[in-house]
Amino acid sequence: MKYSFKNDYAEGAHPRILEALVQSNFTQQNGYGLDDYCKNAENLIQEIINNPKAKVHFVSGGTQANLIVMSAFLRPHESVVSAETGHIFTNESGAIEATGHKVHGVETVDGKLRPLDIQKVIDVHQNIPHQVKQKLVYISNSTEVGTIYSKKELQDLHQFCQKKNLFLFMDGARLAHALTAETNDLTLEDIAKYTDAFYLGGTKNGALIGEAIVINNENLQKEFGFHLKQKGAMLAKGRLLGIQFQELLKDHLYFDLAKHANQKAMKIKSAFKEIGCEFLSETYTNQIFPILNQNQITKLSENFDFYVWKKIDEEHTAIRIITSWATTDEITQLFVKEIEEL
């Protein structure tokens, strides 16, 4: 069987999470997120981001988190600005549009939005009320091409959104990987300070399922629970999500798992560099995009799975390699050896 580098959720869950679920299995708790585990996990997140007034809601997946946040925050005539590579624009089957909100896709050089990108969208939507009104900016950290935002870039976006009366929302499916990248200068406290809302991804970082939506803007907190219930996201056994985040946030496990994945990716990146490969984007997270010829792709495909990502020219294509919290030294070395033989 081929080893898969297609995604970072191919494995089940970190053993500590499974153990915590088993140990708490017969303890009776309230439902719908009112259990002790969800409350404890919320407190842990509030402490880490240094914001006791933040509200935390646990949901099962990233697409669900995105569509609930946007449908809750936006009025019917308001729209979203996203990079064209953004998950909501390319890989969510029109989930945001299905809630009645247009998504404006912006072409970017590295998956990151800048104030100028957003301003260009605003400039061509001045025929009010005949055109939709831009109200929310959607960014991902790390992005879908593995890049990360610097503190200065996030501050610039925050200041721009404040000036233009826009909400800033960060998709954090791989936020732990961004925060543990060797070039990162952001903290979770910074992210809470400079966004109206974001979420901490668990599915792609050791959890069975689960994302933690963090709403920093107090004006957006009221009645959010109605949207959770209406969209089918309020689990009767909400404890299952709370237990996982409670465990992940103990002893820096959440960040240790992401750091492990990043380190394995960087070893593989170094191997590709050694044989002279170029890359689609410069990344320091657990996603890398080496550009290979078809013979090289065919050879690597014999024992390993990965996405063939983007055609560069007639002879070369970028592939996507993703490592996970469970990628071992042994597998990494086997892959490195095959890269060296290319």
- Which residue is associated with the tokens 């219930």? 229
Q: What is the pLDDT of residue 162?
A: 98
- Give the pair of three-digit tokens for residue 214: 């963090």
Of 228, 239, 248, 249, the closest CA to residue 39 belongs to 239
* 74 C-beta neighbours (distance < 10 Å), count: 20
pLDDT digits (tens, 9 = 90+) for 36-73: 999 999 999 999 999 999 999 999 999 999 999 999 99
| Mean pLDDT of the residues in the chain | 97
pLDDT digits (tens, 9 = 90+) for 264-276: 999 999 999 999 9
pLDDT band at 211 (very low <50, low <70, confident <90, very high): very high
- Give the pair of three-digit tokens for residue 311: 């055609």
Q: What is the pLDDT of residue 342?
A: 92
pLDDT digits (tens, 9 = 90+) for 23-35: 999 999 999 999 9
Of 307, 311, 336, the closest CA to residue 320 belongs to 307
Q: What does the domain layout of the chain look like in residue ranges?
A: 15-252, 254-340
Q: What is the pLDDT of residue 87?
A: 97
Greatest Cα pair distance, the chain, in angstroms, is 61
- Single pTM value for the model: 0.97
Q: Which CATH number fits domain 15-252: 3.40.47.10, 3.40.640.10, 2.40.50.140, 3.60.110.10?
A: 3.40.640.10
Mean pLDDT of 237-261: 97
Class of CATH domain 254-340: alpha beta
- What does the alpha-carbon distance between residue 82 and residue 48 come to, in Å, rounded to a whole number? 28
pLDDT band at 1 (very low <50, low <70, confident <90, very high): confident
pLDDT digits (tens, 9 = 90+) for 132-176: 999 999 999 999 999 999 999 999 999 999 999 999 999 999 999
- What does the alpha-carbon distance between residue 249 and residue 195 come to, in Å, rounded to a whole number? 21
Following CA atoms 188, 194, 197, 201 in sequence, which dihedral angle do they give, to the nearest 10 degrees? -30
pLDDT at 4 over 90: yes
Of 330, 308, 325, 326, the closest CA to residue 317 belongs to 308
pLDDT band at 98 (very low <50, low <70, confident <90, very high): very high
Contact 51, 62 (CB under 8 A): no
